[in-house]
Structure 1
Amino acid sequence: MKLHSLKLWAIAFISPFLGYSQSIDSLGTNRLSEVIVESKPHDYDISEYEVSTLEPVSISRYNPNSLVTSINEIPGVYIQSGALNTNRITIRGVGSRTQYGSSKVRTYLNQIPLTNGSGETSINMLDPESIASLHIVKGPKSAEYGSSLGGTMLITTAPRTNDWLQVDQKLTLGSYDLVKNRTAVNLNTEEVSLSLAYDHLSTDGFRENNNYSRNGLQLFSEITISEKDQLSILLNQINFNAQIPSSINQTDFINNPKKAAFTWKSAKGFEDNELTLTGISYAHQFNYNQKITGSIFYNYLDHYEPRPFNILSENTHGYGGRLVYDQYFQSGKIKWTLGGEIYRENYDWKTLENLYEDNNGNGSLEGDLLSNNEELRNRYSAFTTYTHQLTDKLEFDAGLNLTYVRYNYRETFNDQIELESNYKPVLAPSATLAYRPTSQTRLFANVSRGFNYPGLETTLNPDGNLNTDLRPENGWNYEFGLQKTHSDLSYGVNLYHMTITDLIVTKRLTEDQFIGINAGKTYHRGVEGQLVYDRTVNNFKIRAYTYPTLNFHEFKDFVDDDQDFSGNPLTGVPDFKISTGLDFTYSSLFLKLNHLHVSSMPMNDANTLQSDSYNLLSLVTGAQFNLWKNLEVEATFGIGNVLDEKYASSILINAVGFGGNEPRYFYPGMPRNYFGSVGVKYSLEK
């Protein structure tokens, strides 16, 4: 980064602190909170200094078909979205190398892992309106949940309500034939809590070959067996069909962003998915100081994807268990946790010829079998954490995670190839010292180690042999944070430095063939700010917030094909991002304005191509009121991309042009769009 450019970004970073602010609050408030560094959640044993949280009101104030806008408010977190079914989450620069999904971030829903055996997470399998809260731990501080270099996402479903019966019905209509209908029923007695929700979402999209249709069912139940025993059940079922317009080149991006990639349009490419996640958890409280929680879970994926170069058919069965024991000492001042997690996944996939060019314009057509593969993925983790309230002002947290991964691969189409990939167990420690000199001031310092294993697809070369030289990524993270509150004004700042060695990068050989290599060393450094002004006068509430992120990520040591990229900024990551907004509430009326600025970012490792920076403005307004004693009505109207900004919502880094064509780097972002919702909630008290 040039010096004058650095000065400009520094000024841009500091200036918001002069006029706006962000709250540091505790979980469970009724404020219109955006990103909250919260009190320690009951469900997740993570230091209060290390968690950023999205509350339901932060999610519901945006278009209910996606979490992208909400997540992009969080400092240090950036999510790119090529389509509703194509999202890439980057936390502090980690995960930017994944081409078509989110990896290197472990995700759990009610303690049940959403991340599959190859380390990938599909957040689009969740209905945003069924999420109660989303906790994000940035960096490898969470020993209990895997010590991933990117971090951890901990998601909870809607909590138990105080009403005996609650029925919600909400209809959303919007641009590009957006239709979403959600029906939810909550039933509560002293012994049983039951939540059942069904949603349907469909849209034509704004691009060619961009239709999307999803049906989802979510069930969550808590059963109190006795004063010491509780059982919970989770079922999440999603079926969706999504056409794929894919990325486009710069010429089409400028002149016709609605256009689909030519081959994908000709093949009428799409993906059809059936996903099931289910789990049962049992908690037993021995006494005031001892508790044990166990869970078993199962997930299933049936994926079918006709692509121009072939047709992919996948079938995945994953299952496992998790056991956690908690022990308290000295009247709760010391807490010790010991636990483990086992996950096994059977992954079968095959590819077939796609004869779309010989199908009279009718799209994809299955041809001969090209490959048939089987894979068994195994992941075993053990962990322990220790929390000690040394004094009223000083707390010490420590954690240790040990993980072992093994892959078995068999190719059954040609030569009956059988391969096994074993990695040495990785030990990842974490330690945090937190100091609260006053009730309004909090400081913490953390040092932690994290890791990411390569998936078998990354280690598998096109010739069918394993790249035994490929090593897991690992790195050390050093972080300092300050949080302070002054009456209506709250602010915070986090500084971190993470060094990652053996960063795994993907090289594209052909349109559908990739290999992984270790890229030497990368530095991930940054400053994340939080500032909120929050004031309530009678029935009028105003909240002004800003969350700036300043990154200094770079390749420290990276030589590829005799090209030295050392010293270049990390590809696919903006060096500056800031989310600023205003929330107004008066009686039953509300108005929310949010502005997101994302700076330019390198699109290739040589840094010879840069994306354009962009600004997105969102507006949502509405009213919430009681029509009768037990009947609540909410009407909402929103505009996305108010200024009709032309921007790339996702970048395909290091794109390669084949057959003399331009490389296809760009996923165009949606133009100005509108949505309106009407919801009715009927409640019946116990």
Structure 2
Amino acid sequence: MLLPQALLAQELLSGYVLRADTEQPLQGVTITAGTGEQGISNENGYFSLAVSTSPKRIVFSYVGYKTEVLLNPSTEQELRVLLQPGAANLQEVVITGYETNRPLLQTAGAVSYIEREVIERFDESSIVRAVNMVPGVRMEERAPASYRISIRGSSLRSPYGIRNVKLYYNGIPFTEANGTTALNLMDPSNIGSIEVLKGPTASIYGAGTGGTVLLEPRRAAPGEESLEVGAIVGSYGFRRYTATARVGAERSNILVQYAKQEYDGHRQQSAVDREVLLLTSEFKPSDKRTLSANLIYSDLYYELPGGLTQEQYAEDPSQARGGMFGSVAQNASMNQKSIHVGLKQEYSFNASLRNTTSLYGLHRFRNHPFNTDYERNTNQEFGGRTSFAYDTQLGGIGATFTAGGEFQRGFEAARTYDNNGGNVGDLRTDDEVVAKSGFAFAQAEFELPANFIATAALSLNDTKYEITRLHQVNSGNYTYNRNLEAVLSPRISLLKQLTDQVSVHANISSGFSPPTEEEILTSDGQLNEELEAEKGTNYETGIRGFALKGKLNFDVVGYYFRLKETIVSRQDVSSVAIFRNVGNTDQKGVEASLCYTLLDEPTQQLSQLKVWGSYTYSHFRFDEYQQDEDDYSGNKLTGVAPHAATAGLDFNTRFGLYFNLTANYSDEIPMNDENTVYADSYVVAGARLGLKRQLGQHFGLELFTGVDNVTDEKYSLGNDLNAFGGRFFQPAPGRNYYGGVRLKYTL
């Protein structure tokens, strides 16, 4: 930030942004030039944007309206831009992943975008059903509020929690230094949108072979001053309350939100009680600087019903794990409080050079009686990320060079005790764990002739663990250090825009995923010193765009991923997860999504009608997998359905009435590496009917009701893979209903 600033000759883009159906001015529209500059329209819809050179594109985006992209805009006359009301078109969304800030049509990679309206298709108890609409991604709920995300089969090593997938919130690291992510500390209402980058993304986001998920916070729109309250009630004692205050201006916005969620549970020992307070703000003190801050305080309690055998699952899926170490008898549950604070600055030194820097801090206390032990942990962590981007011209070729790095350091005081009927017993182990992870990255992007865009990126990743055992029963104390050697991870991609509506892309990327702390230091206190990092290479090609006069959106990707030193997990007799490297896996797949808009006429009574669907094909196999005397080479990859699909129908009326229908299909899933037990295939459907109305000048009202699992299908959504004693199944809720109301007052 101390670099000298340069003054360059500039050109001016200006004009008006209007609502397409009424031609009324729109205030607060974000205007982004392809050269990186940004501006906002005023109360008259007017904008002016100084640019160093004439950009090849300019993007107009506004919440609740379809994003508009103008190619080769003129700087010699005022522009007149009309934005269509309605949900954003997925192909027009500006993608922040890979640090390119380009429309999805110009982004080389398997990327899916989940907007706020998709999260609100359901009861907002979690984002599980919204994420499962994305091809190639499966999100599971082993118990209410116990999440697991699998991108292209990456849940193989995740008996619980989120691993091998990196998450960011507002560009700030949310995955911790030890490689795990506590997504359940966040409420679904805290999320404005989600970008899912599938496959190895180590060139920009560090270690990881699964993928990266970018969460954007909700914001107050410019000029908005409002208060909003909401309540939802449903089956199984589901209760949810939210209160939100928003204040937005041309150069600042603040959002404060409180959410409380309670759930009695659809099984024994499956209740939830969560409170989350979110503060998110953004300030623009000058045209060069934008500052943002986020604070998330979470108080979470949820119970763990445990896995069932196939016989128990068939007999009574509502029961919890029983026996001497049963979930009810041992009060198996999680109680954790945390606070996560993040700061970010975006600064433009001049029209060509810009920087984004973020810092964060985390403190968490966890009290966790489990079936076979009792864990009490305290975590403290800090970290940051910075990146510089430089736009230039090389012989008439537009180029953007990006470089930066990320560092995280976490400290955990971890103690395990005997679990005496849900109470703390004798001390077993007392550990202090320091986790350090970091990487440096560089990327070059070139806008080549004939509408080609080429990208080359590289990162160097490093992870270290320092474990100090202060106490262990019947064993001496020790110190163990593990330095997983630095690994270079490259990525090369090429995109060709065939027309202004269709593009093709291909990329080759390499990934590196070190073991997490919980995989090296298991919950029974044993060290796994032999565990090595996974390494893999991904080959991918795809096509996306529009057809049929823009009514049909399509996105199809095919890939081949070769993973070496694959980590898998198994449970021992005490239900402790044991991890090992098992050789290689071959993963071939196809991901496709389609959306067809039958009607999009904001001025008509039936204003919008569309159908959509997604499909995932996964041909995943173990390769060279030998366990003792058993050879599992050629077996299907555990936890992955060969076929999965989602379909839906949406309609909206001018009056404010809306209806959403969603159906999910999953093929049968192998539950163990031996492929001797499978979870049955299933189809689950749900629907939501609602009414949104503006009551006078200040009040807005939404009433809605919905049903999930309308056919009362019996299925397992959070399978325990390779579970000891055949306890594979974590039953999902049967048919359940909900209804709610939102009231918004605009000052």
TM over 0.5, shorter chain: yes
Distance in 2 (alpha carbons) for counterparts of 1:464 and 1:632: 55
Cα distance per residue 1:312-345 (max 9 Å; x no partner)? 1011111011111111112992111110111000
Offset at residue 173 of structure 1 (A): 0.8
**Paired residue type of 2:632:** F
Higher relative contact order (CA 8 A, sep 6+): 1
Do 2:585 and 2:623's aligned partners in 1 also have CA atoms closer than 8 Å? yes
1:5-16 mapped onto 2 (5 Å cutoff): none
Judge conservation of contact 1:507–1:514 (CA < 8 Å) in 2: yes
Q: 2:447 aligned with 1:384, yes or no?
A: no
Task: Indicate the residue corresponding to 1:101 in structure 2.
Answer: 161
2:255 maps to which residue?
Answer: 195
Q: Deviations over 1:37-84 (max 9, x none)?
A: 844339943762432100000111111111011000000001121222
Contact 1:163 1:683 in 2 (8 A): no
Tell me the residue number matched to 1:41: 96
TM-superposition CA deviations, 1:94-138 (whole Å, max 9, x none):
223310111100000011111122212222222212211100000
**Cα distance in 1 between the residues matched to 2:107 and 2:694:** 36
Q: Give the CA deviation at 1:507.
A: 3.2
Q: Is the 8 A contact 2:159 2:577 kept in 1?
A: no
Superposition TM-score, scaled by structure 1 size? 0.91
Asked if 2 retains the 8 angstrom alpha-carbon contact of 1:34 and 1:54, the reply is no
Q: Is the 8 A contact 2:144 2:270 kept in 1?
A: no
Give, in whole Å, the separation in 1 of the partners of 2:349 and 2:99. 19
Matching of residue 605 in structure 1 with residue 660 in structure 2? no
Distance in 2 (CA, whole Å) between partners of 1:413 and 1:131 is 41
Residues 163, 516 of structure 2: 8 Å contact kept: no
**Alpha carbons 1:34, 1:58 under 8 Å: kept:** no
Write the mapping of 1:306-321 to structure 2, written as runs, cut at 5 A. 306-321=369-384
**Partner of 1:21 in structure 2?**
none
Unaligned runs of 5+ residues in structure 2 are: 1-65, 70-82
* Contact in 1 for aligned 2:335/2:366 (Cα 8 Å): yes
Question: Structure 1: how far apart are the matches of 2:738 and 2:200?
Answer: 38
Q: State the secondary structure of the residue aligned to 1:82.
A: strand
Query: Is residue 629 of structure 2 the alignment partner of residue 562 of structure 1?
Result: yes
1:473 to 528, 531, 534: 534
**Cα distance in 2 for residues equivalent to 1:42 and 1:104:** 18
Does the 8 A contact of 1:84 with 1:124 survive in 2? no
Give the aligned partner of residue 52 of structure 2. none
For residues 267 and 95 of structure 2, the distance between their equivalents in structure 1, rounded to whole angstroms, comes to 43
What's the RMSD between the two structures over aligned residues? 2.1
| DSSP 3-state at the match of 1:552 | strand
Q: What secondary structure does 1:288 align onto?
A: coil
Counterpart contact for 2:143–2:303, Cα < 8 Å? no
Equivalent of 2:600 in 528, 532, 536: 536
- Per the alignment, residue 348 of structure 1 pairs with 413
- Counterpart secondary structure, 1:648: coil
Whether 1:631 and 2:699 are equivalent positions in the alignment is yes
Alpha-carbon offset, residue 92 of structure 1 = 0.8
- Candidates 338, 350, 357, aligned match of 2:403: 338
3-state SS in 1 of match to 2:498: strand
SS at match of 1:245: coil
Distance 1:289 1:620 in 2: 47
SS at match of 1:96: helix
Cα distance change on mapping 1:374 and 1:310 into 2, 3 Å: same
Residue identity in the other structure for 1:388: F
Give the letter aligned to residue 189 of structure 1. Answer: A
Give the share of equivalent positions with the same residue, in percent.
28
Residue deviations 1:183-228 (CA, integer Å, cap 9, x gap): 0111123443111100000010111112110000000111222222
- Please report how far the alpha carbon of residue 380 of structure 1 lies from its aligned counterpart in structure 2 after TM superposition: 1.4
1:183 corresponds to which residue?
A: 243
- For 2:190 and 2:745, locate their aligned partners in 1 and report how far apart those are by CA, in whole Å: 17
Alpha-carbon offset, residue 391 of structure 1 = 2.4
1:230 Cα shift? Answer: 2.1
Structure 2 CA distance for partners of 1:410 and 1:394, relative to 1, 3 Å: same
Aligned to 2:19: none
Structure 1: tracts of 5 or more residues without a match: 1-23, 357-363, 658-662
Give the partner amino acid of 1:498.
F
| Contact in 2 for aligned 1:32/1:58 (Cα 8 Å) | no
Which of residues 574, 580, 600 is equivalent to 1:511? 574
71-80 or 244-253: which moved more? Answer: 244-253
Is the contact between residue 397 and residue 449 of structure 2 (CA under 8 Å) also seen in structure 1? no
Asked if the contact 2:565/2:584 (under 8 Å) is kept, the reply is: yes
Q: Partners in 2 of 1:212 and 1:412 — Cα distance?
A: 34
The structure-2 alpha-carbon separation of the partners of 1:463 and 1:318, relative to structure 1 and needing over 3 Å to count, comes to closer
Distance 1:244 1:71 in 2: 22
> Is 2:317 aligned against 1:257?
yes
2:282 is the alignment partner of 1:214: no
Q: What is the alpha-carbon distance in structure 1 between the residues aligned to residue 194 and residue 512 of structure 2? A: 23
Q: Does structure 2 conserve the Cα–Cα contact (< 8 Å) formed by 1:38 and 1:49?
A: no
How many angstroms does 1:515 deviate by?
A: 3.0
Provide the aligned length of Structure 1 versus Structure 2: 649
| Structure 2 residue identity aligned to 1:303 | R
CA shift, 1:254, in A, is: 0.9
Matches within 5 A, 1:615-626: 615-626=683-694
Alpha-carbon distance, 1:480 to partner: 0.4
Determine whether 1:393 maps to 2:454: no
Q: How far apart are residue 490 of structure 1 and its match? A: 2.2
Give the CA deviation at 1:511. Answer: 1.9
- The structural deviation recorded for 1:33 is 6.2
What residue in structure 1 maps to residue 727 of structure 2?
664
Between the aligned partners of 1:399 and 1:29, the Cα distance in structure 2 is 36
Q: 1:85 Cα deviation (Å)?
A: 2.0
Tell me how far apart the structure 2 counterparts of residues 164 and 254 of structure 1 sit (CA, whole Å): 53
Partner residue of 1:271?
Answer: 334
- Report whether the alignment pairs 1:89 with 2:149: yes
2:543 to 482, 499, 514: 482
C-alpha spacing 1:670/1:242, structure 2 compared with 1 (3 Å): same
- Counterpart of 1:345, as a letter, is G
- Indicate conservation of the 8 Å contact 1:168/1:679, yes or no: yes
Contact 1:25 1:36 (C-alpha < 8 Å) held by counterparts: no
Amino acid at match of 2:425: G
Asked if the contact 1:165–1:187 (Cα under 8 Å) also holds between the matched residues in 2, the reply is yes
Distance in 1 (CA, whole Å) between partners of 2:275 and 2:91 is: 31
1:45 is matched by which residue type in structure 2?
T
Note if contact 2:593-2:614 (Cα within 8 Å) is conserved in structure 1: yes
In structure 2, what is the Cα distance between the partners aligned to 1:644 and 1:601? Answer: 20
Residue matched to 2:466: 408
Q: Out of 424, 429, 433, which is 1:366 matched to?
A: 424
- Shift of the alpha carbon at 1:36? 5.3
Tell me the residue number matched to 2:657.
Answer: 589
Query: How many Å separate the matches in 2 of 1:285 and 1:656?
Result: 56
| 1:630–1:43 distance in 2 versus 1, CA, 3 Å | farther
Deviation at 1:627, TM superposition (A): 0.8
Give SS of 1:376's match: strand
Once residues 493 and 231 of structure 1 are traced to their aligned partners in structure 2, the CA distance between those partners, rounded to angstroms, is 37
Map 1:230-309 onto structure 2 (within 5 A).
Answer: 230-262=290-322, 263-309=326-372
What is the CA–CA distance in structure 1 between the aligned matches of 2:398 and 2:743, rounded to whole Å? Answer: 45
Contact 1:36 / 1:54 at 8 angstroms: preserved in 2? no
Q: Per the alignment, do residues 424 and 317 of structure 1 end up closer, same or farther by CA in structure 2, a change over 3 Å counting?
A: same
TM-score normalized by structure 2? Answer: 0.84
Question: What is the identity, as a one-letter code, of the residue corresponding to 2:168?
Answer: Y
Q: Which residue of 1 aligns with 2:492?
A: 431
